[in-house]
Amino acid sequence: MSRRLADSRRRLRGMVRKEWLQIWRDPSSIAIAFVLPVILLFLFGYGVSLDAKDIRLGLVVEQMDSDSRNFAESFGRSDYFMPRYFSDIREAEQALTERRLDGIVWLRHDFSQRLLQPSPAAIAVRVNGVDANEARITAGYIQGVWFGWLEKYAREHGRELDTPVQLQQRVWFNSAVISRHYLVPGLIAIIMTLIGSLLTSMVIAREWERGTMEAMMATPLRIPEVLAGKLIPYFVLGMAGMLFTVVLAKGLFAVPLRGSFGALLLSGALFMLVALAMGLLISIIAKNQFVAGQIAIIVTFLPAFILSGFIFDIGSMPAPIQLITHLVPARYFVAILQTLFLAGDIWPVILPNLGAMALMLLVFMMIIRRKAHKRIA
Amino acid sequence: MDSMALRLQQVSRSFGDGNAATRALDGISLDIHSGEVTGLIGPDGAGKTTLMRLCATLLAPDQGSVEVLGIDALADPIAVQSRIGYMPQRFGLYEDLTVQENLDLYADLQGLAVARRVTRYRELMEMTGLSPFTGRLAGKLSGGMKQKLGLACALLREPELLLLDEATVGVDPVSRRELWQIVYRQVREYGMSVLLSTAYLDEAERCDRVALLHQGRLLGMDRPAAFSAPLDGDCYRLDIPNGVSARRLQRRLQEHPSIADALIEGETLRVVTWPGQAPTPDLLAPEFTALAFTPLAPRFEDAFIRLLRRPEEKPTQLPSLKQTGTPAAQDIVIRAEHLERRFGDFLAVKGISFAVRRGEIFGLLGANGAGKSTTFRMLCGLLPVSSGHVSVAGHDLRHAAASARQRLGYMAQRFSLYGNLTVQQNLRFFSASYGLRGARQRERIDWALQNFELRPFAGHKAIDLSLGYKQRLAFAAALMHEPEILFLDEPTSGVDPIARREFWARTNALAEAGITILVTTHFMEEANYCDKLVIMAEGDILAEGTPAQIKQQARSPQHPNPSMEDAFITLIEGHEVAA
């Protein structure tokens, strides 16, 4: 009995050592684990930003008096706006058409009279909707400035602000609403998907292509040993990639990590296993690198990118697509990551997501156990 | 009964489903004796690899039973795998691991006790001559060394049954000979049983027993001598009289109803008759009088050909051709001077020079990795030369106009056909790509279908053809535009011996019509078909000349009549001593 165990341990050790040597000697594995995170971090940390800053705003003030001047100047005090004054709305609209402006705030000549009166509104806003995201943000910011100024004005004049609904808005967890702070944690899920699914499935496909898998399958190796022999090294590589990304995220972009490191490690390990299970499943179907790469990109990488809530908000997707996102493991991990980094160990959020990942892992492992066998066709 | 290493009973195995299913093995029953070397012999597509994989329990049969070393392979594959050694095609080595790391891995996987490793490693490394290279990456070994490392990995635990799938294909004759020595030593020392598949018929004679496989069926299983015994008295040597063309004489003999096979071997013809058909001096027309037939001992290949052929079969139809130039013109059409090619710091071709005359069949002979294909690609202008000079029909094809390329035909390794196009569509595509249109194109396609006996298959997809027919189609496609010079890269690799004979008959006819032919091969005996050849190893030319001249170099008191393979081995060994 102990001899059988010793043999099994030796086979597994041989497999793991071989895999390490190959990872070490193959620059592409190292590149995916350590160079790619750097590239992605720079891209998403510096290149992609979902924040609007330095919005070029046209201010059309038809009648300059103390109220209109006071309101117009409040835009100049904001970090987000670069205001330019126009005296005529047509001139400003021309500038908007030619994309010299991102938005216009129009203060009509009766601005002061209309203030504090129930509708119609005293200001009109035009934004360039070509970039829908930026337009929404711009409109929101303008609204924020408007309500802020209006509130202050009402208080100074000792009057109740007479708007139908009073909005009191405060952003929690990411109070400055810096998009980098929720993009960068999401990247961890992308990088782990690449290592666990893409790299792993392609490495196994390469073994089929080169005929080494056939030679290995003809030895007394057991299926669980084959699986573990692939899982262990790439698990370690994936976790190393994750830690590396976390260090870079904190060091380079000052992304806060408000949750505990233990919770991050636990959920990361679980997600890594799910990603590896997907990689193993793909390699059962695909026995050449090209097909394995294609499948991995389409069923693991792209969904992790698009449908996980990493960039695009799941809540604003059409209902059928929202349903589909439940099949994307990265969705649960991205939710956990964003919570851990920005809010903290909020277990009521983390636990259901961990549960969903554990369920997926279980299902994948059952399929693998049933489908994986030592016959080659 | 207890002395069977392997028992197959009524084993069948198909791949694919429905109408597209192909039967790789069809009701095979076979017993492999313990302590013997059994050769599994047949061309590509015969089912050799499928049978090997069944024995290694990598495949399950659709029907029938496989019993390995007394164990039911279906019921307990792990027990089987704990006792066998298996070396797949291409050797199953990790090229990014060193020799030692490969050994360690397979020792771990096969459960070789750590205490025994040091002695076993040393023993195997000495036997394979790899001791100085244990730190080298497997990918940086030569083909012959990879093969021996693959063998060493399969032998680590002294398996009771050793399965070698195409272990010798494309490897140089010296390494092949060493592999056989190692295998027989294992059989002697450990009583190992060996099943070895090969496409080389000459290796049959090295086996204790031979199983002959063809199109998924077992044609016979016996000792090699038992296959050739019925041919006693039916094999002859015929010295070619002065002034007679060996190819024409061969052709006339092949057409004769009493002759099963006629093969050019240097300055003689090897003739095999149908049973009881003794050749008489007046066998052929009066133009070949006074031919002297000397009886020869039959070989395994003679038996194989006679098993596969029917007496009533028509001989290969030869292509009808326009005479291009006169064969006697003797002008040089291809010239290579100090040709060199590097890939990084690797010198694939080391400054070689040769010249080819019009209407010659010129052979480049060597193992995989000798630099044949690289040389070929440089000649065709597909690969830039690192240094040196090439001219083909007076042009350097790197810079020549398309009109110069129009004069040559190229048949690539593995044939490069479009598998999902039909035979007719392939011919249309290749002729169109050489600029043939309209009536002329139809005429050439018709010529190809007729002369290569492809008409019955015109509507078949190329991928469904047997390898021999794929070869024919590729050959026809390369001839659509009536080139003057033909490049054939490994045209006969893996093709069965009948198809190979047909191929050479057609190639001879082309040469007779004045077409210059360059051909690469790793079959040593095919050198006999060439007018001139060079022998290549490690990017160098070891010898150049007619087949007779090259064999002359290996003549010695021990070898008064060396074969091309003997000559090759002598040359390689001389080369290694010099290096």
Write B21-26 long-range contacts (CB < 8 A, 24+). Answer: B23/B216, B24/B50, B24/B216, B25/B50, B25/B51, B25/B54, B25/B61, B25/B216, B26/B215, B26/B216, B26/B217
Average pLDDT in the B230-258 region? 82
In A, minimum Cα distance to B109 occurs at A11
Q: Amino acid identity of B311?
A: P
Shortest CA gap A364–chain B (Å): 24
Q: Are A115 and A67 in contact (CB under 8 A)?
A: yes
State which H helix or E strand residue B354 sits in: strand B346-357
* Distance (Å, whole) CA B578 – CA A104: 88
Give the pLDDT of residue A271: 96
Gyration radius of chain A's alpha carbons:
28
Give the pLDDT of residue B517: 93
Q: Are B351 and B396 in contact (CB under 8 A)?
A: no
State whether A15 and B109 contact (CB < 8 Å).
Answer: yes
Please, which residues have CB within 8 angstroms of residue A61's CB and are 6 or more apart in sequence? A68, A69, A72, A85, A87, A107, A111
Which DSSP symbol is given to A297? Answer: I
* Distance (Å, whole) CA B405 – CA B426: 20
Average pLDDT in the A125-154 region? 80
* Distance (Å, whole) CA B498 – CA B89: 24
Give the pLDDT of residue B326: 54
Nearest Cα residue to B470 out of B460, B484, B481, B482:
B460
State whether B56 and A218 contact (CB < 8 Å).
Answer: yes
Shortest CA gap B217–chain A (Å): 21
Out of A96-100, A129-133, B86-90, B374-378, least confident range: A129-133
A214: chain B residues, CB-CB within 8 Å: 53, 58, 88, 92
Average pLDDT in the A196-208 region? 90
Structure tokens at A99: 């994309």
Structure tokens at B573: 């060994």
Average pLDDT in the B403-427 region? 86
The answer to whether residue B29 scores a pLDDT higher than 60 is yes
The answer to whether residue A1 scores a pLDDT higher than 60 is no
Q: What number of H helices and E strands is found in chain B? A: 17, 23
Buried b (16+ CB within 10 A) or exposed e, A282-295: bbeebbebeebbeb
Shortest CA gap B213–chain A (Å): 21
pLDDT tens per residue across span A7-42: 899 999 999 999 999 999 988 888 888 888 888 888
Shortest CA gap B472–chain A (Å): 28
State whether B53 and A217 contact (CB < 8 Å).
Answer: no
State whether B92 and A216 contact (CB < 8 Å).
Answer: yes
* Distance (Å, whole) CA A55 – CA A69: 19
The answer to whether residue A118 scores a pLDDT higher than 70 is no
A214 touches chain B (CB under 8 A): yes
- Given 3.40.50.1220, 3.40.640.10, 3.40.190.10, 3.40.1710.10, which CATH number is that of A55-156? 3.40.1710.10
Q: Are B261 and B296 in contact (CB under 8 A)?
A: no
Q: Are A342 and A182 in contact (CB under 8 A)?
A: yes
Give the pLDDT of residue B286: 60
β-pair partners for B237: B270, B294
A18: chain B residues, CB-CB within 8 Å: 94, 97, 101, 105
Tell me the C-alpha to C-alpha distance, in Å, between residue B42 and each of B45, B47, B493, B555.
Answer: 8, 8, 13, 32
State whether B108 and A13 contact (CB < 8 Å).
Answer: yes
Q: Are B300 and B222 in contact (CB under 8 A)?
A: no
Q: How many CB atoms lie within 10 A of CB A351?
A: 11
Give the pLDDT of residue B325: 57
Question: Which of B55, B98, B108, B146 is the mutation pick for testing A, counting most A CBs within 10 A?
Answer: B108
State whether A375 and B59 contact (CB < 8 Å).
Answer: yes
Give the pLDDT of residue B126: 92
Choose the closest CB to A215 out of B84, B92, B111: B92
* Distance (Å, whole) CA B495 – CA A256: 67
A17: chain B residues, CB-CB within 8 Å: 104-105, 108
Q: Amino acid identity of A311?
A: I
A218: chain B residues, CB-CB within 8 Å: 56-58, 81, 84, 86, 88, 163
Give the pLDDT of residue B502: 86
pLDDT tens per residue across span B216-225: 899 889 999 8
The answer to whether residue B308 scores a pLDDT higher than 50 is yes
Task: Compute the mean pLDDT over every residue in chain A, rounded to the nearest whole number.
Answer: 85
Give the pLDDT of residue B54: 94
pLDDT tens per residue across span B152-185: 999 999 999 999 998 887 777 888 888 999 999 9
The answer to whether residue B354 scores a pLDDT higher than 70 is yes
CA angle (B436, B442, B446) in 5-degree steps:
120
The answer to whether residue B384 scores a pLDDT higher than 80 is yes
The answer to whether residue B288 scores a pLDDT higher than 70 is no
Choose the closest CB to B111 out of A7, A217, A375: A7
Choose the closest CB to B92 out of A7, A18, A214: A214
State whether A210 and B104 contact (CB < 8 Å).
Answer: no
pLDDT tens per residue across span B438-488: 999 999 999 999 988 899 889 888 888 878 888 889 999 999 999 989 999
* Cis amide prior to A303 (ω within 30 degrees): no
Average pLDDT in the B59-65 region? 93
Residues 142-161 of chain B with CB under 8 A from chain A are 150, 153
B432 touches chain A (CB under 8 A): no
The complex scores an ipTM of 0.78
State whether A216 and B111 contact (CB < 8 Å).
Answer: no
Which DSSP symbol is given to A32? Answer: I
Which DSSP symbol is given to A194? Answer: I
Q: pLDDT category, B1, cuts 50, 70, 90?
A: very low
Nearest Cα residue to B38 out of B176, B203, B188:
B203
pLDDT tens per residue across span A286-329: 888 999 999 999 999 999 989 998 888 888 889 999 999 999 99
SS3 at position B159? coil
Give the pLDDT of residue B553: 83
| Helix ranges, B452-543 (H) | 467-478, 497-512
Q: Which residue has the higher pLDDT, A79 or A211?
A: A211
SS3 at position A309? coil
Give the pLDDT of residue B310: 74
Tell me the C-alpha to C-alpha distance, in Å, between residue B438 and each of A5, B173, B435, B442, B528.
Answer: 73, 49, 10, 6, 41
pLDDT tens per residue across span B245-261: 777 788 888 888 888 88
Per-range mean pLDDT, top range of B273-277, B309-313, B447-451: B447-451
Give the pLDDT of residue B86: 95
For chain A, residues classed under CATH 3.40.1710.10 are 55-156
The answer to whether residue B400 scores a pLDDT higher than 80 is no
Nearest Cα residue to B69 out of B55, B87, B51:
B55
B58 touches chain A (CB under 8 A): yes
Q: Amino acid identity of B262?
A: A
Give the pLDDT of residue A174: 61
Give the pLDDT of residue A170: 57
Shortest CA gap B107–chain A (Å): 8
Question: Which of A22, A219, A376 is the mutation pick for testing B, counting most B CBs within 10 A?
Answer: A219
State whether A220 and B104 contact (CB < 8 Å).
Answer: no
* Distance (Å, whole) CA B202 – CA B566: 13
State whether A18 and B101 contact (CB < 8 Å).
Answer: yes
Nearest Cα residue to B199 out of B523, B478, B552:
B523
pLDDT tens per residue across span B551-570: 888 888 877 778 888 888 88
pLDDT tens per residue across span A328-374: 999 999 999 989 998 889 999 999 999 999 999 999 999 998 888 88
Average pLDDT in the B190-209 region? 90
Q: pLDDT category, B314, cuts 50, 70, 90?
A: low
Tell me the C-alpha to C-alpha distance, in Å, between residue B263 and each of B246, B270, B437, B505.
Answer: 10, 5, 39, 10
Residues 19-48 of chain A with CB under 8 A from chain B are 21-22, 25-26
The answer to whether residue A58 scores a pLDDT higher than 60 is yes
A224: chain B residues, CB-CB within 8 Å: none
- DSSP letters along A156-182, please? HTT-----SS-------SSTT--THHH
Q: How many CB atoms lie within 10 A of CB B250?
A: 25
B88 touches chain A (CB under 8 A): yes
Choose the closest CB to A21 out of B82, B97, B106: B97
In B, minimum Cα distance to A207 occurs at B94
Q: How many CB atoms lie within 10 A of CB B401?
A: 9
Q: How many CA within 13 A on the CB side of residue A287?
A: 10
* Distance (Å, whole) CA B17 – CA A377: 13
Average pLDDT in the A125-133 region? 78
Q: What number of H helices and E strands is found in chain A? A: 17, 4
Q: How many CB pairs under 8 A join A and B?
A: 89
Please, which residues have CB within 8 angstroms of residue B48's CB and are 6 or more apart in sequence? B40, B42, B165, B166, B197, B213
Question: Going by DSSP bridges, is the β-strand pair B4-15/B63-68 parallel, antiparallel, or unpaired?
Answer: antiparallel
Tell me the C-alpha to C-alpha distance, in Å, between residue A49 and each of A53, B265, B399.
Answer: 10, 77, 52
Question: Which of B13, B109, B147 is the mutation pick for testing A, counting most A CBs within 10 A?
Answer: B109
How close are the terminal C-alpha atoms of chain A, in Å?
A: 32
pTM: 0.80
Give the pLDDT of residue A173: 59
Q: How many CB atoms lie within 10 A of CB B350?
A: 16
Average pLDDT in the B371-392 region? 87
State whether A22 and B57 contact (CB < 8 Å).
Answer: no
